[in-house]
Amino acid sequence: MNGSSTNVNGNRNGGGFSNAEWELIRRYHRNEAAENQCTSQLVKHIKAPVHLVWSLVRRFDQPQRYKPFVRRCVVKGNLEIGTLREVDVKSGLPATTSTERLELLDDDKHILSMRIVGGDHRLKNYSSIISLHPEIIDGRPGTSVIESFVVDVPEGNTKDETCYFVEAFIKCNLKSLADVSERLAVHDRTEPLERI
């Protein structure tokens, strides 16, 4: 069983985060939304140590290791800031491809940021930040994962509809990240960190 999940749409002034989570969001997730954009933050608590969860998240070249909607990923160039990846999305979603650029990869602070720069979907000017933070869950090492995003609201949609769609997508990814990480933690099969 994986940890709990919380989300708050930045446009709705909701509650649900602890003081510690709000502090981490304030420190690492500074998404400024323009008038035609929406933003939100989601938190997932995973019963696996940070180094293990980070070994999955940091692999910008292999998002399919935990993202269930990714069919294939091809990286253009070396794995460094500015690297582009072409992602083929599984059928059933309102997209087939996405071109994404690595904006930030900090192995010390466990932060990854990416921006969508192309593809056949409606997520224009989408950018996200994911940060990992150590915590203790049930007396064992765990990870608090925070993911935030900002995206344009497509014509014909509301901010709430757009945030709801993106949040649902991210929740699926975070649930899968928790499932994969916790399964690896149980079997104690961690991979060494490969530095870019």
d(CA 163, CA 38): 6
Q: Report the distance separating Cα 38 and Cα 11, nearest Å.
A: 7
Asked whether residue 80 is domain-assigned, the answer is yes
In-domain check, residue 59: yes
Whether the CB-CB separation of 193 and 50 falls below 8 Å is answered with no
Mean pLDDT of the chain: 87
Distance from C-alpha of 153 to C-alpha of 35, rounded to nearest angstrom = 9
Residue with the bigger pLDDT between 93 and 74: it is 74
Given the structure tokens 């499932």, which residue do they identify?
A: 179
Which residue segment(s) compose the domain that 107 sits in?
A: 38-189
Residue 172 domain-assigned (yes or no)? yes
Which pLDDT belongs to residue 114?
97
Is residue 10 situated within a structural domain?
no
Question: For residue 163, what is the domain's CATH number?
Answer: 3.30.530.20
Q: Is residue 4 part of a domain?
A: no
Contacts by 73-79 with C-beta closer than 8 Å and gap 24+? 78/196, 79/196
- pTM, whole model, 2 decimals? 0.86
Buried b (16+ CB within 10 A) or exposed e, 177-186: bbebbbebbe
25 is a domain residue: no
For residue 14, being part of any structural domain is answered with no
pLDDT, residue 93, reads 67
What confidence tier does 90 reach under pLDDT thresholds 50, 70, 90? confident
Quote the number of domains for the chain.
1
- Does residue 195 sit within a domain? no
Q: What is the pLDDT of residues 13-39, one digit of tens each?
A: 345 888 989 889 988 898 788 899 999
